[in-house]
Amino acid sequence: MSRWSVFLIGMYAGVGLLTLVLQTYIRVDQCSGYRACTISMAKGVVWSAIWPAYWLVYEAGRRARMTAVQIERGADRVFTEQVSAG
């Protein structure tokens, strides 16, 4: 195996471990019982193994939330201006 391959595998594993830490941190709050906690942590392990897909889904959700907040702020501003002009 070439050095480049070892490096890439190491980087993939490293980011996977960081993703697992994040997944665990996020999912600990969902542990309301043994079964729920086990299922939630298992999902975290799976997402950590396929972390490129996880980060794509995470970013898409983050952008959707940001867009919703911007729309809400814009609607509030328009409403406030209409009431003031009223």
When mean pLDDT is compared over 15-24, 30-39, 54-63, 66-75, the highest value belongs to 15-24
Phi, then psi, of 32 in degrees rounded to 5: -100, -10
- Which whole-number Å values give the CA distances from 53 to 11, 58, 79, 86, in the listed order? 16, 9, 39, 49
Instruction: Please check the confidence at residue 73 and state whether its pLDDT lies above 90.
Output: no
Instruction: Please check the confidence at residue 83 and state whether its pLDDT lies above 70.
Output: no
Q: Tell which residue, 14, 23, 21, has the closest CA to residue 54.
A: 23
**51-64 exposure pattern, b = at least 16 Cβ within 10 A, e = fewer:** beebeeeeeeeeee
pLDDT at 7: 94
Instruction: Please check the confidence at residue 78 and state whether its pLDDT lies above 60.
Output: no
